[in-house]
Amino acid sequence: MVVSMIQIIFEIPEAGTIKEKRRIVHSVKEKLRRRFHLSAAEVDLQDSLSFAQIGGALVSNSKSFGESVLQKAFEMIEKETPVRIQDVSIYSEEF
């Protein structure tokens, strides 16, 4: 069993309130869940108005498959959401 994980820190320049930030973060998490079947959550920076950190995970039987899905998920966020990516890391653990 392979667990592939992604961690993304991004800036939300359009967010003027916590409510706007939460709307954008919720939208990103839902896109990850629906399109890529990832488990996703906001894992840090909840109190920051302009930054968010999201973590996602996918269980599969192949490291290359899992990491390719996460790379596609990252590209989707980069293209389709109003955020500026600050940092991203993708890695896998085999159990």
Q: Per residue in 17-40, pLDDT tens?
A: 888 899 999 999 999 999 999 999
pLDDT band at 74 (very low <50, low <70, confident <90, very high): very high
Residue 56: pLDDT above 90? yes
Q: Percentage of residues in the chain with pLDDT exceeding 70?
A: 100
How much is the pLDDT for 14? 83
Enter the tokens of residue 25. 């973060």
CA quadruple 54, 58, 64, 70: dihedral sign:
negative
Show the domains of the chain with their CATH numbers. Answer: 2-94 (3.30.70.1120)
